[in-house]
Amino acid sequence: MNNQYLLDHLRVIPDFPQKGIQFRDVTTLFKDAKCLDIMEEELYELYKDKGVTKVVGIESRGFIMGAILAKRLGAGLALCRKPGKLPAEVISQSYSKEYGTDTIEIHKDAITEDDVVLIHDDLLATGGTIKAAWDLVKKFNPKKCYMNFIIEIRDEGLHGREFLGDEIEITSLITV
C-alpha cells in the first residue's frame, strides 16, 4: 500500500530507544486529520467484506485505529492490555522479550466462537507482542482471525512476519 502521504508524515527518530534503532513514531499520523482519514479508509477497504465482528486492539496505540475501524465495520472492540488494567476476569498470555518476559490479558468474555476477529496493532517489528495476542485470541476458538498493522518494519533485520508464519492473513498499511 505505502500511501505516500502517510510515509511523508511518519516521523522517524534515530537512535531511540537505543543506538542503531530507527523508531517509527505513529503519533504524527494520528495528529493529522488527513492521515487518519486515509488510514481509516484503507483499513475499511481491506476488511469490509470479511465479516469481522470483533476488533482486538493491542495496548496502547492499537486502541486508536482499532476503535475507529471497529466502529466503521459495525464490529465490537476488545482490548488486549498489560496485567492489572482490565477490571473483570481475564485470560493471560506470557511471551519472551529481548530482556525477559511480559504478559498481556484480555477479558474472558471478550470473544466468542462465533466471532470473526481482526487483531490490530500500530507496528510489526519482531512479532513478540502480536504473537502473544494471537495465541491469546486463539484460546477463544473464533471462526476466523486476521491481523493488521499500520507499519511493518522489514529493514533493520527484523522478521516479524516470518516469526508469525503463514497461518494467518497479515496486512500492513506501510512497509519500510
Active site residue 154: no
Which of 61, 105, 152, 161 does the annotation list as catalytic?
Answer: 61
Per residue, what are the HEC states of the chain? CCCHHHHHHCEEEECCCCCCCEEEECHHHHCCHHHHHHHHHHHHHHHCCCCCCEEEEECCCHHHHHHHHHHHHCCEEEEEECCCCCCCCEEEEEEEECCEEEEEEEECCCCCCCCEEEEEEEEECCCHHHHHHHHHHHCCCCCEEEEEEEEECCCCCCCHHHHHCCCCEEEEEEEC
For residues 165 and 175, what is the distance between their CA atoms, to the nearest angstrom?
17
Active site residue 61: yes
Which of 89, 98, 113, 167 does the annotation list as catalytic?
Answer: 98
For residues 163 and 41, what is the distance between their CA atoms, to the nearest angstrom?
28
Strand partners, 124: 152
Q: Which residues are catalytic?
A: 61, 98
